Structure 1
Amino acid sequence: MSPRMIAVLAATAALAGCGAAQRHADPPRTSDPPAANHDAARPARATAARAGQIPPLLDPHDVYAAGRPGRLAQQVRHDPPRVYVPNSKSDTVDVIDQRTAKIVDHFPVGALPQHVTPSWDLRTLWVTNDLGNSLTPIDPRTGRHGRPVPVLDPYNMYFTADGRHAIVVAEAHRELDFRTPHTMRLTKALYVPGCHGVDHMDFTASGTRALVSCEFNGRMIVVDLRRERVVKTIVLSAGAMPQDVKLSPDGRTFYVADMATGGVWLIDAHRMTKERFQPTGRGAHGLYPSRDSRVLYVSNRNEGTITLISFRTRRPFRKWRIPGG
């Protein structure tokens, strides 16, 4: 499984934790909370990723090819099949056995856990405790959680495709914080004052640029990951609320969910220009590619539906209604 699939796994595992959790006002930038013993906080037997280079795609025409059945990386092949669900209201994580669909563990974490993000080397799962100013590490081999690592305002979290950096999305501080991938030491705080509600992102097929959503002012920003700077701003529309971001399998198009407008924006991934808007349903929020890279699932959470978009035609072809959804 390639680092490209990390974002997909993170979104799937965190689906129940995204919700309409409380969002905080912009406080002044402060330093991280007092440092803890980061080595102790990491799960047992965690190993360093062979970072530094972007792994080649298994299929140059499909950035998600490593997500096919039977293509799990060797180091995770024997991990127990579990789903880790952050509960923002109770500050806990539920662990679900995928085979039985039963909760097999439940444990407390920091305040307002938002997402669960796999590390670049797939050896650690990080729970982003937004108001708790910490990350809780989980060892996916054992399911055991470790001591929290102090990190300022971790609403969301990603790893660069070359594994050199963790990027903590510090939403309330309007920052993208570049950190070392194991100790989470801050190396650069990229201030993005023009991006209100910096939220979600995805990477180009080359892994060198990121498209980042700005939820509260209807914009997207493009970040050059090598230079660690914003290089472009894309204005969507008045009143837009961009959420999740996903690259098409062929690497040509970004899809951006818009919760306020009720659909997805299509962005040219090479020119980084807006192409068009595609309606899907009220409250379009999460985006998930199918395992065969043919379909994009769009969760329309304000109407309890899922829209299926064909990656080939770039048009919706079906809508599922979720009872009680």
Structure 2
Amino acid sequence: MPAFVRRSIVAACGLLIALSTFAAPATPVAPAASTAGNVVVVLNSRDATITLLDQSTYKEINTFPVGKEPHHLMPTPDNKSLIVAAATGNSLLFLDPTNGQIQSQVKDIVDPYQIGFSPNQKWFIANGLRLDRIDIYGYDGKNLKLAKRLPLPSMPSHMAFTADSSLAFISLQGSDELAAVDLATQKVKWTMPIGKQPAGVYMTPDNKYLLVGVMGSDYVAVVDWRTQKIVKKIKTGDGAHNFRPQGDNRHIFVSNRVSGTINVLDLNTLESVGSIAVPGGPDCMEITADGKTMWVTQRWVKKVSVVDLETRKVIKSIPVGRSPHGIYFSNRAPEL
């Protein structure tokens, strides 16, 4: 499965959108970054800003304003742009992924929270967390066309797809459920109880199980999506939230926002094989291409921590804005 399948992409709410024709904005404007390809992009959701950090020196390059509540970000499949979604700002910002420079801005996008691109690149889904709906778009390789606006139970959050792109799975934080959406018919195929406040969803590389972070508890639910049954609960820390594969096709990290820890899960045994202390509400994670360090946003303490993955210790904490959420850099490990 291509790496970009496990990431997200944002779709605008117009009926037809050409990805290559966004006009450059007058504002905001970000000054030039110091080191191309070595820039860390951090979304400060409460401040409605982006902070750029130098990956080598750990120093701030710049902080500049964006739309309200920027939560998630992703590179486009061609890696030529980095999309930042401002949920309550109803806008998208396109950055150069190597240096953080603004390329373009699109306004009047309704609630772009978490978003997903199907493995066959035929579908985009935008989860409207505050609107209790998902928007399904068709994609022809260039344009996005709205196919269906589908109401769902409370607070659709994260998502994953089957390898054949037939189903999308959506965690529903408000109703404590997991939903399966048939992409051919754009209808809900089933819902199942999953646990209190489910968040991150990840399909195992063998397409056999879904992993769901149960944020209102202390475990990751292992779901046989074909039978709609929870077959195992992997104990983690309180507030199991988000996932980031290590890039070795074997291990995946899960952040535990309440306990201030990150668990290392073995995808072959579906067991926790270690834990890393990262206090302050660890959330999104990014891993350097050499696999040596992981960068983690800490939602409650206005910091980003850098973890040495060999020693599993925090080696640096860097101040950023309020409630830092998404994080990205271009020299990153694969998402498998």
Give yes or no for TM over 0.5. Answer: yes
Shift in Å, 1:123: 2.4
2:159 paired residue number: 201
Whether 1:101 and 2:58 are equivalent positions in the alignment is yes
Distance 1:80 1:91 in 2: 24
Letter in 2 for 1:99: S
The structure showing larger relative contact order (alpha-carbon pairs under 8 Å, at least 6 residues apart) is 2
The separation in 2 between residues aligned to 1:149 and 1:132, in whole angstroms, is 8
| Number of corresponding residues | 265
Contact 2:5 2:119 in 1 (8 A): no
1:116–1:127 contact (8 Å) kept in structure 2: yes
Residues 196-221 of structure 1 show CA distances to partners (whole Å, capped at 9, x for unaligned) of 11000011222321211000111000
Whichever structure has more helix as a proportion of its residues is 1
State the distance in 1 between where 2:225 and 2:179 align. 12
1:309 aligned partner: 265
In the alignment, structure 1 residue 235 sits paired with structure 2 residue 193: yes
- Answer whether contact 1:307 1:320 (CA < 8 A) is retained: yes
Q: How does 1:143-158 map to 2 (within 5 A)?
A: 143-145=100-102, 146-158=104-116
Q: After TM superposition, list the pairs within 5 Å mapping 1:168-317 onto structure 2.
A: 168-179=126-137, 186-193=145-152, 195-237=153-195, 240-317=196-273
Q: Deviations over 1:50-72 (max 9, x none)?
A: xxxxxxxxxxxxxxxxxxxxxxx
**Hey, what's the Cα distance between the residues in 1 that align with 2:6 and 2:126?**
13
Normalising by the residue count of structure 2, what TM-score does the alignment of the two structures yield? 0.70
Q: CA deviation at 1:171?
A: 1.5
Residue identity matched to 2:6? A
Structure 1 stretches lacking a partner, 5+ long: 12-30, 44-78
Q: Would the aligned equivalents of 1:156 and 1:169 in 2 still touch at CA under 8 Å?
A: yes
- Residue 92 of structure 1: which of 35, 49, 53 is its match? 49
Deviation at 1:222, TM superposition (A): 0.6
Residue type of the alignment partner of 1:217:
S
Partner letter of residue 147 of structure 1?
Q
Give per-residue Cα distances to partners, 1:269-291, cap 9 Å, x unaligned.
Answer: 44443223222111111111111
1:79-107 Cα offsets, whole Å, 9 max, x none, are 72433211111111112333333332322
Deviation, 1:42, is: 6.7
1:184 deviation in Å? 7.3
**Would the aligned equivalents of 2:259 and 2:279 in 1 still touch at CA under 8 Å?**
no
The percent of aligned pairs where both chains have the same amino acid is 28
CA contact (8 A) 1:234 1:274 kept: no
Counterpart of 1:163, as a letter, is: Q
- CA RMSD of superposed structures (Å): 3.0
* Distance in 2 between residues matched to 1:223 and 1:294, nearest whole Å: 28
Q: CA separation of 1:183/1:113 partners in 2, compared to 1, >3 Å: closer, same or farther?
A: farther
- Tell me: CA distance 1:118–1:149, structure 2 relative to 1, closer, same or farther (3 Å): farther
Q: Is the 8 A contact 1:120 1:163 kept in 2?
A: no
Structure with the largest fraction of strand:
2
Return 5+ residue gaps in structure 2 as ranges.
26-35, 282-336
Instruction: Provide, for residues 6-51 of structure 1, a one-character-per-residue CA deviation record: whole Å limited to 9, x for no partner.
Output: 535x69xxxxxxxxxxxxxxxxxxx86xx999823379xxxxxxxx
Q: Report the AA paired with residue 176 of structure 2.
A: G
- Residue aligned with 1:297, SS: strand
Q: Pick the aligned partner of 1:138 from 95, 102, 109.
A: 95
Q: CA deviation at 1:190?
A: 3.0
Task: State the alpha-carbon separation in 1 of the partners of residues 203 and 82 from structure 2.
Answer: 23
Q: Does 1:127 align with 2:84?
A: yes
Cα 1:162/1:82, change in 2 over 3 Å: farther
Specify which of 31, 40, 44 is matched with residue 22 of structure 2: 40
Query: Does structure 2 conserve the Cα–Cα contact (< 8 Å) formed by 1:176 and 1:191?
Result: yes
Q: C-alpha separation between the residues in 2 aligned to 1:179 and 1:144?
A: 28
In structure 2, do the counterparts of structure 1 residues 83 and 209 end up closer, same or farther at CA, with 3 Å as the change threshold? farther
- Residues 324 and 124 from structure 1, CA distance in 2 versus in 1: closer, same or farther, beyond 3 angstroms? closer
Structure 2 partner of 1:23: none
